[in-house]
Each structure stands twice: as C-alpha cells, then as structure tokens.
Amino acid sequence: MYAETDTNHLHGAMDWYSAKEGCLLAGITRKSIQLSISEWLLTGKQRFSELFAIQTQAASHNNILGLVINPQYIKLLKIKSANEPQEVEYFKMISIPEGLVVHTEIKNSTALAEILRNVISESGLDTKDIALTIPRSSAIVKHITVDKRLHADEVESRVWVEANRLFPNLINDIYLDFAVIGPSSEDSSQNEVLIVACRKEQLKPYLEVMRMAGLTVKVVDINYYAFERAMSIVVKQVPKLKTIAMLNISYRLIDLLVMHEGKLIYTHEVGYDGLNLVKLARTEADFINPDRVPEGESIPEIEQGSYEILKNVLGSHLKHAMQFFYSSKPNVRIDRIILAGDCASEIPGLPEYVYKEVGKTVTLADPFKNMRVGNNVDKNKLMHYAPSLMLCCGLALSRTT
C-alpha cells in the first residue's frame, strides 16, 4: 500500500506544489494572507484557516515548538532561526506507554495530554505554540488557476466550487485551506491558487489533545513540506552535489524525497512494518554499531544475520521506492542518500545495508551539524537521535505571523 506524489505523475485530483516555489504551506491561522473569510464564516463551514494561515516566510517569525507524536515517542524541538547560525533552544524526546497511539490514531487522549502538559510545565519555555504535521497521504493538495480580476470573496467561492466537485459527499467533513500563490506561469491573466484539504476526523483528535494539554496549535503542515525545510539545511552541507535523496525510514512508512539543484522534485511513500524491524534488530547480537560512517571512508561489511533481517523486512520496499523514482525520473541520477527516520537512529547497520542494496554513498541525516546547541540541551542525545528528527526540525522551522 502506498501513496505517490511527484510533479510529473499525478493521481486523480491529487497534485503537488513545492513550498519552495513561493508559498510555504505552514498550515493554518486565524488570519489568512490576502483572503477574506468573513462571507465564508457566515456559512458555518470549517476550513483550515479557522485555525491558522498559509504564510510566506517574509515578515514572519518562529517562536514555535515542532511536535511529532508516534506510537513510541513524543518529540519536541525548538529552534531559534532569526540569526545565523541557528540554535537548538529546546529538545525533548520521551517514550510513551504502549497503546496510547496506534499507527497515527490516538487511543487515550487524556493520558497523552497529561504527558504533554507535564513536559511543557517542566520545560520553562516561554511559548506554548505548536506545529503539527499530517501525512501527505492523508491530504489532498491541488492547485487551480483563477482570473486575476476576481475579488477575494470570489476566489474563495471558486475554491469551494472546486472542493465540492472533488469530494461532493464530504464537503462538510473536511478542513480546507487555500492561498493565492501568484501569477500563473502559463497564463499571465490567471492567478495560481493552492488548495489543501483533509478529513476532520484525522485532525480533530490531535487538536483536542493539544487543547487538553494547554497548548495552542499554530501550524498544521503536510509532512513533505516540513521534510523539505529540513532537507534544505542538510543539502547545504554538501553544496557540490547536484541531486540528494532523503530516505526516511520510520516505524510504518518509508518516504523517499529527492532534491535536484536545491528544488524538491519528487516524493514517494511506501508502507511497511518498521516496528517489527526494530524489534528484530534489538534481538540480533551481531549488528555492527558504527555511530557514523565518516565521509570518504569505506562502509564496513554488514554481518550476515543482520543483513538477512533487513532484507526480509525492508528489502523489497526499499527496492520498490528506488525503482519507482528511476522509472519516473529516468534522466536524474542520485549523488547521495541521506538516511533519516526512527529506524535510522535505532538500527545499527542500516546505513551499511542501504549502501549495499542501492550502491550510493549513504550518510546519516544531521540537520543540527552547523547549529549552535543551547546549554540546557542534551547534546549527546540530540546528536544520537538527529536522523529521526528531520520532520520535527522542519516543523520547528515553521513561521507564523
């Protein structure tokens, strides 16, 4: 089971628009740029912008906590990015009891909210503003063109007409947000409008947990946009390379994102059983354990037992992701793979396995390599879990008005 997105191969109504192309999709606010919502609010319908706003990075700031919740951990990260170098101001990663979250579904809101409330209370942070993410496969992303002469309320009406056409039976059960991006590249008399939608049922449990924990959700982002922001940092570490791929191997998904000359050109998602992989890896005694493979040094051979575990659980999914990319982008060759995700932090030997299977130089993701680290941050823990914090890093770099 997978959901796939790239700029040349579209599935139905799903389209993809890079945040780097002029709009940072930072989710949701009470004030939308350019667009009036007064008429729409009178109808009683809900859209993302009841919560937050689509923003460009100009005239904005980030005093926000990136928050990622999965079945194993809660991750919180705050980055001060007003000046260079950026600084990690706060980092917390704590295990949560089994069963509170299953896949992406919250099973015990009260217990989860209590954990978050205690963490924030002990943190001493001056903000309770949160950035969350939803998977790309849970969202519909579409861009349309409208006549430049339309007023804001007319643009909004046009968006709702398009939304009603795409999902007529769900119009009252979705959050919807949109923004005017700018002139169409194909027709100067038209403006491009970016539309994002997801089912309320997928987001409401998280909003309720944040409310119970005393937190304010300022941003709801799509995971690939957050990954893109974090990748932009990592790509700067290897400026001579033209095409960099990030392979994010988490507990339930493998995400492949490819940046070519600084632009995100491809995303792809594959489902697999990462929790089982971690469990098997923890019981396998012969996993080698290099914390990092220094650039330019050869990658050691992975032991046979470790190799067989990875091949059986991960192998076919990894090959599928790579083959799908090369069939979609036959003229693009990846120079390096940046390995990220929870499994990248927890499974020794994973970089060696990916190198053996793919035949490309593999390095572990470290978005904090050129950042300062605050005195109150556990630097060793931050460095150890850096590969698993790409999504959280991208969220922490979100900006709000």
Per-residue pLDDT of 81-135, as tens digits, reads: 878 899 999 999 999 999 999 988 999 999 999 999 999 999 989 899 999 998 8
Q: How many domains does the chain have?
A: 2
Are 69 and 187 in a shared domain? yes
Are 196 and 252 in a shared domain? no
**Weakest mean pLDDT among 6-15, 108-117, 250-259, 265-274:** 6-15
Between CA 55 and CA 393 the distance in angstroms is 18
Are 247 and 217 in a shared domain? no
pLDDT of residue 287: 52
- Neighbouring CB atoms inside 10 A of 301's CB total 11
Q: How many angstroms from the chain centroid is the CA of residue 365?
A: 14
Q: Is residue 388 part of a domain?
A: no
Contact 343, 278 (CB under 8 A): yes
Query: Does residue 18 carry a pLDDT above 80?
Result: no
Q: What is the mean pLDDT of residues 35-55?
A: 36
Query: Does residue 52 carry a pLDDT above 50?
Result: no
pLDDT of residue 300: 52
Are 138 and 164 in a shared domain? yes
pLDDT of residue 280: 82
- Give the percent of the chain with pLDDT over 70: 80
Are 26 and 171 in a shared domain? yes
Are 180 and 272 in a shared domain? no
Are 243 and 181 in a shared domain? no
Are 294 and 195 in a shared domain? no
Helix H, strand E, coil C: the string for the chain is CEEEEECCCCECCECCCCHHHCCECCCCECCCCCCCCHHHHHCCCCCHHHCECCECCCCCECCCEEEEECCCEEEEEEEECCCCCCEEEEEEEEECCCCCEECCEECCHHHHHHHHHHHHHHHCCCCCEEEEEECHHHCEEEEEEEECCCCHHHHHHHHHHHHHHHCCCCHHHEEEEEEEEEECCCCCCEEEEEEEEEEHHHHHHHHHHHHHCCCEEEEEEEHHHHHHHHHHHHHCCCCCCCEEEEEEECCCEEEEEEEECCEEEEEEEEECCHHHHHHHHHHCCCCCCCCCCCCCCCCCCCCHHHHHHHHHHHHHHHHHHHHHHHHHCCCCCCCEEEEECHHHHHCCCHHHHHHHHHCCCEEECCCCCCCEECCCCCHHHHHHCHHHHHHHHHHHCCCEC
Which carries the bigger pLDDT value, residue 359 or residue 169?
359
Q: What is the mean pLDDT of residues 358-371?
A: 94
Q: Is residue 182 part of a domain?
A: yes
pLDDT of residue 61: 58
Are 78 and 144 in a shared domain? yes
Are 150 and 42 in a shared domain? yes
Q: Is residue 370 part of a domain?
A: no
Q: Is residue 357 part of a domain?
A: yes
The residue from 167, 186, 221 where one domain ends is 221
196 pLDDT band, cuts 50/70/90, is confident
284 pLDDT band, cuts 50/70/90, is low
Dihedral sign computed on CA atoms, order 125, 230, 347, 136: positive
Query: Does residue 289 carry a pLDDT above 50?
Result: no
Per-residue pLDDT of 136-192, as tens digits, reads: 888 888 888 999 999 888 988 888 888 888 778 777 888 888 888 889 989 999 999
Query: Does residue 15 carry a pLDDT above 90?
Result: no
Residue type, 21: E
Contact 244, 256 (CB under 8 A): no
Query: Does residue 59 carry a pLDDT above 90?
Result: no
Pairing status of strand 87-95 against strand 372-373: parallel
Q: Is residue 398 part of a domain?
A: no
Q: What is the mean pLDDT of residues 1-13?
A: 29
Average pLDDT, the chain: 80
Are 273 and 155 in a shared domain? no
Query: Does residue 58 carry a pLDDT above 80?
Result: no
H/E stretch holding 152:
helix 152-166
Q: Is residue 65 part of a domain?
A: yes
pLDDT of residue 73: 94
Residue type, 241: L
Where does 199-315 have alpha helices with state H?
200-212, 223-235, 274-283, 304-310
- Neighbouring CB atoms inside 10 A of 107's CB total 12
Which carries the bigger pLDDT value, residue 389 or residue 262?
389
Q: What is the CATH number of the domain that holds 267?
A: 3.30.420.40
pLDDT of residue 9: 25
Query: Does residue 337 carry a pLDDT above 80?
Result: yes
Which carries the bigger pLDDT value, residue 291 or residue 111?
111
Tell me the Cα Rg of the chain. 21
**Weakest mean pLDDT among 85-94, 215-224, 301-310, 326-335:** 301-310
54 pLDDT band, cuts 50/70/90, is very low
Q: How many CA atoms lie within 13 A of 312 on its CB side?
A: 11
Query: Does residue 12 carry a pLDDT above 80?
Result: no
Are 198 and 258 in a shared domain? no
Query: Does residue 231 carry a pLDDT above 70?
Result: yes
Tallying the residues shown for the chain, one arrives at: 401
pLDDT of residue 63: 84
Q: Is residue 381 part of a domain?
A: no
Residues of the domain holding 60 = 2-221
Phi, psi of 100 (to 5 degrees): -65, -40
